[in-house]
Amino acid sequence: MKIKILVLTIFYLIGSFNLSYAANSEKVDQISKNLRCLICQGQSVYDSQSDFALSMKILIQNKIDEGKNDEQIYDFLKSKYGEWIVYDPEINKNTVLLWLLPLILFVFGGILILRKVSIK
């Protein structure tokens, strides 16, 4: 009986340790998937095994441990490496076309369809 309890306790401890560990690294994964690996373009920091990306993941973990939220971590990295490091581009004069083009095409397509329907 005692052995059973001991074994169960050990399993419980291992399980809870794994859970808390996984919770943290999942957060790192989630953030690093949104970051461009600047020295291995075409890959995210999450995908890359370069020295730069590995350090970046450690840094993200450190920042999470310090209690920083996602937004603060992204802002910190943007201040160091510029806007380009995040995959989600902000709206500014360089990216306005990128954001508006789908909308313009959608409206244009809608007009085309409407015209076609009304003519018939």
Partner 1 sequence: MVKNIKLIAVVFLVIVSFFILLKGLNKTNNYSPNLNSSNIDFNFKAKFLYSNEETTLYELINDKDFSLINIWASWCLPCRDEHPYLLNLNSLGKLNIIGINYKDSEINAKKFIKELGNPYSKIVVDPSGVNSIELGAYGVPETILINNNSKTILKKYIGPLDDKKLAELKMIIKNEN
- Residues in touch with partner 1 (CB under 8 A): 38-39, 41, 51-52, 54-56, 58-59, 62, 79-82, 84, 97, 108, 112, 115-116, 119
Nearer to partner 1, 3 or 92 (CB): 92
CA–CA gap between residue 117 and residue 120 (Å, rounded): 5
Nearer to partner 1, 11 or 106 (CB): 106
Nearer to partner 1, 33 or 115 (CB): 115
Nearer to partner 1, 20 or 79 (CB): 79
Smallest separation (angstroms) from partner 1 to the CB of 85 = 8
Smallest separation (angstroms) from partner 1 to the CB of 41 = 7
Smallest separation (angstroms) from partner 1 to the CB of 98 = 10
Contact 44/87 with Cβ under 8 angstroms?
yes
Smallest separation (angstroms) from partner 1 to the CB of 63 = 10
